[in-house]
Each structure stands twice: as structure tokens, then as C-alpha cells.
Structure 1
């Protein structure tokens, strides 16, 4: 499918993708690396639908049927909601910050040290704040409600120069 131009395996074709650990990756032309492709959701199987409600910045609510394993970041981006995900879902920023309904907060696995470090940078941090890229839907989270904060903070290295 791809022709190597040199030993560094520069890629010519741009339309191929593959899956690894439930994330779709796409190889880009003239690149030796892969990038995660967010917003790529699969329709839930009949009878296995899970539900999530987003409370938007204006207070309106949007409810979606999703599949088990979908991250909140992917769900938001796949439905064109205002969630940036600047780091591509690698837990290296705080732009997918969400505020989880307290009823569901304890059903989510404890945040990792990396997630806690990134949450320290989030605007409007609350007791139930989490990163959307770190929450994957499962049956315990069916009907979860998450609110999008009024603002996000995208801290980049140039901010410190």
C-alpha cells in the first residue's frame, strides 16, 4: 500500500488508516509518525447503547447515544461540540476539561498523576473536574452528565518564552 522512498519510510499515500487499542490512526504523507484521529466514533450496537448528556456553555443540553469505550473527548468532537483537545487526547493539556455530575464522579477510575498535573492547569477547576480524554464510556457511566466549562486554558511552551 505504501512505497518507501528511502530507508526512513516516507509515506506517499494518505488515505489509509488502522486501529490500535480502539483508536484510529492515520499515516500522513511524508511523515514517519502516526497521529490519533479524534471524533471517529462507531455507532453503538443495538441494545448496547450508552447515553451521555453534555451541558453546553450556554446552559443548553445535548444528549447522545454512544458506544462502550468511546472517550468523552471523541464523543464531543465527533458531534461538533466546543471541546478543543489540543494535545490530541494524550493527556498533555487541559482543553478537554469537563465537570462531571457528582452522581457519576465516583464511578470513574481515579485520575492518573498525569491527569492530575494537567487538571492543575484547567480553568474553572472544581471538585468533580476531569479530562474528557481520560474518561471512557462504560455501563456504569450510562446517562452520565458532563458540563463544558465557560473557558479553557491552552498552555503552550511559547507562553513561557
Structure 2
């Protein structure tokens, strides 16, 4: 079955396109908390055992938060949940708070 390009163009031109603002690719993580109620204190432990305390906010992606504060953390899939390179360990006392 052959389809003429002009037919496809007419169909595409009649499509309505709607967009909304969405923070993607870590943009949200670069924003500071709007209030102290949004602040989440996170402590990263580097592979050398050093503790690095940072102030994040509710909803932050931990991979991008680490990168914001120049903490080396590999994320091969850029936080799309397709691999396990940026997985984190959460202390059991904090499971219910997540």
C-alpha cells in the first residue's frame, strides 16, 4: 500500500499540538526550595567513605541532586530507571518517610 506524502502532510497539519511546562532532565533539581518546609537533608557517602551533607527539596532526583553538588555518581541511563548504576541505599528507619 502506497501513501502519498501530500496526504500525510495534510493529516499532520490538522493535528492540534498542546504543550505544558514540564521540568525535565534535572531542571527541577537546580531550583532552590521555595520554603523551609520543602527542605530535605540528604547525606551522601562517597566511595571513599566521606560524608557529604546537602540540602535538597521534596521531589528531588538523587542522581541530579548529587550532580548539582558535584558529588560523583554514575547514572548510565540518566535517571530513566533503565539500569542500576545510580541506585541508593536507604536506612530502614526512613522507609516510611519516603
Larger Rg: 2
Aligned residues: 79
Structure 1, residues 4-61: CA drift from partner, whole Å, max 9, x if none? xxx8xxxxxxxxxx842xx32xxxxxxxxxxx34684211123222211111111111
The partner residue of 2:43 within 45, 53, 77 is 53
1:91 maps onto 2:81 in alignment: yes
Unaligned stretches of 5+ residues in structure 2: 1-8, 10-19
Misfit runs of 4+, over 6 Å: none
Q: Between Structure 1 and Structure 2, which shows a larger proportion of strand residues?
A: 1
Q: 2:33 is matched with which residue?
A: 44
Q: Whose RCO is larger (CA < 8 A, sep 6+)? A: 1
Structure 1 vs Structure 2 CA RMSD: 2.3
- Counterpart of 2:66 (choices 53, 73, 76) is 76
Which structure shows the higher helix fraction?
2
- Per the TM alignment, residue 102 of structure 1 is displaced from its structure 2 partner at its CA by 2.0
Which residue pairs with 1:4 in the alignment? none
